[in-house]
Structure 1
Amino acid sequence: MESIFHEKQPSGNMDDSGFFSIRVISSALGVWGLELVLFNSREYQQLRIDPIHEKAFICNYKEHWFTVRKLGQQVRV
């Protein structure tokens, strides 16, 4: 009975549409040894990461998550 009650409680980690919170995304990445660093955070600015050298980005636009990643060999002009 307690599990049924728990299942019906709203969660801040996922809503009815299937949208996952940033905490869930961060935890999922951690399983693979990856770290989520917010692009507009002070930590990111202090790391002085050049986005050109990154392999992928996880982006959120209007509560939709999507990935942007490199494909094949990239040639810099």
Structure 2
Amino acid sequence: MLTRIKAFCLNSLTIAWSYFLAVLGLLLQLVDAAGDFLGDPAIKDEVSAAVGDPTWAGRVLLAISIVTLAARLRSLRKQS
């Protein structure tokens, strides 16, 4: 299983980190909907107290992920 993950990430820890940030960003953007679905609107308040506005934090993480992924793919393309 680890070999599949490494192959999916092109044997690059930077790309794996980028994927992790993207997933985390998407989850932060879905906090409000998850709170409504679970019937606990206080989830958004708790996350907001920890990280600020979860929607903006998610967008920032997605932007960082895109820049990181683009930079790493560019350097991989130059190497080959």
TM range (shorter): under 0.3
- State which structure, 1 or 2, has the greater radius of gyration over its C-alpha atoms: 1
Larger helix proportion of the pair: 2
Structure showing greater relative contact order (alpha-carbon pairs closer than 8 Å, 6 or more residues apart): 2
TM norm structure 2:
0.26
Question: Normalising by the residue count of structure 1, what TM-score does the alignment of the two structures yield?
Answer: 0.27
Task: Select the structure that is richer in strand.
Answer: 1
